[in-house]
Amino acid sequence: MKIALIAHDRKKDVMVKLVTAYREILAQHELFATGTTGKRIEEATQLPVHRYKSGPLGGDQQIGAMISQDDLDMVIFLRDPLAAQPHEPDVTALIRLSDVYEIPLATNMGTAEILLRGLAAGFVDFRQVIHETDNRPLSL
């Protein structure tokens, strides 16, 4: 599966801890991240990460493009709800696209842990079914 990892500045340390804790699970998947977050993850875990631009420079939009092309299976976006973000419209668009294309999305550590544990247990296999059915979004 293809997993995007994004973290606002004050959440980058938490993201590195999360990826370090779940390294064995994440090592089995393709990882994508915005600029600095991806660099920090690579340095801390030695996992390969495809890095896009930083969020404010368009990285959120690049990941959003992957979602709209149904080329991403999960998003972990550790947001800082207490800080104003200059690229907040991009953040909102990314969350909206995740909903439109039914991409599992975590915006905090608790939900991220549940998604990663579910991934390891096979609870996110519906994404593979989608890819087997001509890349059409699943209708529930």
Is residue 134 flagged as an active site residue?
no
Catalytic hit among 60, 73, 80, 125: 60
Q: Max Cα separation, the chain?
A: 41
Phi/psi-derived region of residue 122, left when phi > 0, alpha when psi is between -120 and 50, beta in every other case: left
Token pair belonging to 15: 């993201």
Which residues make Cβ contacts (< 8 Å) with residue 126, sequence separation at least 6?
Answer: 138
Q: Are 67 and 101 in contact (CB under 8 A)?
A: yes
Q: Which residues are catalytic?
A: 60
